[in-house]
Amino acid sequence: MKKLFLVGMMILGLSIGPVVHAQGVYPDVPKATGEPHPEGNEFMRINHPDLLRHDRDLTVRDGDRDVDYSLAGCVACHAVNGPDAKPVTSESSEYFCRVCHDYAAVKIDCFQCHNSLPPDLGEASLMFDRPEQSLDVLLTYLEGLSR
């Protein structure tokens, strides 16, 4: 029993230790403009690569554009504005994805092909043909501008 207690204390110590230590080091994740993910941020942090990979295959291979997770969708909501009040590209270390990816030293190659800037209004409405969705994109865009 005493042993178990000691082990318990050790685990507790280990789990508290780094959190306290990392408070100042952990990246300051920029806020998104749209509705929060219903799955929760923790889920998205862990699963976003799999969700994107799954849905990209649906779109490219099967032509299914009505998917839940698209890179254009990420980029539209998670735009970070630079000093000139315009969204920054993935070249900038301020870029939403890079904040964590630089911290974790994980390279992203999405933006070698995909545009890292939020889709402009014309193209957004091309991509999302459902009218209510293009309104969402419009609102997101305007909110991004006003930030």
CB of 62 to another protein, least distance (A): 5
**Which CB atom, from 28 or from 84, has the smaller least distance to another protein?**
84
CA dist., res. 127 & res. 121, Å (int): 10
Q: What single DSSP character describes residue 34? A: S
Q: Does 119 bind another protein (CB under 8 A)?
A: yes
CA dist., res. 22 & res. 29, Å (int): 14
CB of 19 to another protein, least distance (A): 36
Query: Among 30, 34, 58, which residue's Cα sits nearest to residue 124?
Result: 34
Q: Does 65 bind another protein (CB under 8 A)?
A: yes
**Which CB atom, from 48 or from 114, has the smaller least distance to another protein?**
114
Q: Does 68 bind another protein (CB under 8 A)?
A: no
CA distances from residue 116 to 12, 51, 96, 111, 146 in whole angstroms, order as listed: 41, 18, 10, 6, 20
Query: Among 85, 88, 75, 53, which residue's Cα sits nearest to residue 119?
Result: 75
Strand locations in 1-147, DSSP E? none
Q: Does 48 bind another protein (CB under 8 A)?
A: no
Stretch that binds another protein, among 5-13, 20-28, 97-105, 106-114 (CB under 8 A): 106-114
Q: Does 60 bind another protein (CB under 8 A)?
A: yes
> Of residues 62, 84, 105, 146, which one binds another protein by CB under 8 A?
62
Residues of this chain that interact with another protein (CB under 8 A) are 56-57, 60-66, 72, 89, 112-115, 117, 119, 123-124, 126-127, 129
